[in-house]
Amino acid sequence: MRYRLAGAFVIVALAGCLPAQTQEFDAASIKPSKAGGGRGSMNSDPGRITYTNVSLRDCLMSAYGAKDYQISGPDWLRMERYDIVATAPGTVSDDVLKLMLQKLLTERFQMTIHRETRDLPVYALVAAKGGTKLHETETPGRGNLRMNGGGVVFTSTTVSELIDYMSRLRSAEMDRPVIDSTGMKGKYDFTINLFGTQEEMMAAVSKGDFGSSIFTLIQEQLGLKLEPQKLPLDMVVVEKAEKIPTEN
């Protein structure tokens, strides 16, 4: 019984349910951004985070290790933008940094948050019949993509990075979250051919035409398949939050 209680205590603490015991930043500044739109940036190292022109939704995704579709709350979480600089008391691990960020956001935005599991419609990415056509990378390192003629060449790319790219490129077509159910944990080199030439591709993309359906492209060229399913997903639910953070 003693071991069970000890294990339960550790789980509760890591879930951020004991904020009084969570390490705090030595100094932290959160201000509404004056950038006026555009893309934000999120930089962190073992002892400091610097976020510029980011939404509270972006921050929650970073703090809880969640995807966009796992954050539920008011629409303004995506719209309002902030600049955040926070310094930890020395070097801390990524897991501790996340707990510190959770506590900081909860206190400064006066948020009430709970975790729950919801059954949601998703696309499960699986290996198609006949198996995948992805090949283990020959140049391990940071993932990269480049245009080549009428296609996109991916180097040292994970399945998760491929999913992120597909979701951004085909946002209208990808009307559900995509869950990686391939079981493939490596990095891969592959090419997705969209058009015959780069000129054709650029002309089509400028008109919002991306060629064939992503469902057809990945099945024929990558040996992967998107299957509509309903799966339980862990959610971070924001019950309430203030748009203006409390003073630094």
Q: What is the pLDDT of residue 12?
A: 36
Residue 56's φ and ψ, nearest 5 degrees, are -65, -30
| d(C-alpha 15, C-alpha 69), whole Å | 19
**pLDDT number for residue 8:** 36
Place of tokens 């070097």: 91
Q: Average pLDDT for consecutive 10-residue bins of the chain (248 residues)?
A: 36 40 88 84 90 96 92 95 94 91 97 96 93 90 85 92 80 79 94 84 68 85 95 95 91
Residue type, 95: D
User: pLDDT at position 6, please?
Assistant: 35
- What integer pLDDT is reported at residue 199 of this predicted model? 83
For residues 10 and 12, give the distance between their C-alpha atoms in angstroms, rounded to a whole number.
5
